Amino acid sequence: MKRSLILVQQQPYDWEAAKKQIEEIAEHFAAYLSEYRSKRATGSKHAVLGPVGKLLNKAAAGERNLESLLGFTVRIHEMSSKRGYLSPDALGHLRQGGEGLLSLLDSAPLSARDRLISQVDDSVYYLCRKGLYEYLESKRQEFAVFLQAKYDDDEGKFETAWGKDAVAFDKVRYPGPHQRRTAKAAKAADIAEFWQSQKEEPIEEEEEIE
């Protein structure tokens, strides 16, 4: 007796639908990471992604229990963050990112999962760096306005104070810690005064933008 062949046609994976999910997951993870400050003074991808990178690695290894995955990630945060504290909002974003990731992986064929995790990884890194550079640029512009006001929009007075470090007001660099450490007295004092007026500390960023 001949057995009839059963042909199963596999539907192609919908990468366009996955793209939207990846964007949403990355936005949640990036929002969580906006509160994360690594103990490592480095701009490496490993340091930027911090606990999210560890979460993605664990998911790639097959972890599908959300509570276990989140507990592992929070512990990494506590050990590697300068503050260790996580606000309810950050925890919410971490959970939504984790839920979205597991949903994405559960609905994908095995052959697509590594690629999906890699795309989430790259997307989170991009959003984090984009947010950082936008912040640095906004503070650079605010510093320029601060200097213009202090020196009465007089580049001559500014040049007398800053000497060879003086440039056009709109060309000043982000006033980061490196700038202050290597600056002469007037420039260092202006940077310190600016951050006091902002009521915050500058970011230790080795890639300070021009």
Are 209 and 133 in contact by the 8 Å Cβ rule? The answer is: yes
Q: What is the pLDDT of residue 42?
A: 63
Task: Map tokens 């420039």 to a residue.
Answer: 187
Q: Helices 15-33 & 110-150, crossing angle to 10 degrees?
A: 40
Residue 201 binned pLDDT confidence (cut-offs 50, 70, 90): confident
pLDDT at 5 over 60: no
Specify the amino acid at residue 10. Answer: Q
- Integer Cα distance of 161 and 155 in angstroms: 10
pLDDT at 41 over 90: no
Share of the chain above pLDDT 70, in %: 91
pLDDT digits (tens, 9 = 90+) for 157-196: 999 999 999 999 999 999 999 888 888 899 999 999 999 9
Task: Map tokens 């606990």 to a residue.
Answer: 51
- Integer Cα distance of 174 and 183 in angstroms: 13
Q: What is the pLDDT of residue 205?
A: 58
Closest CA to 37 of 88, 89, 1, 90: 90
- Integer Cα distance of 31 and 24 in angstroms: 11
CA 209 to chain centre: 16
pLDDT digits (tens, 9 = 90+) for 20-33: 999 999 999 999 99
- Integer Cα distance of 124 and 126 in angstroms: 5
161, two tokens: 């104070």
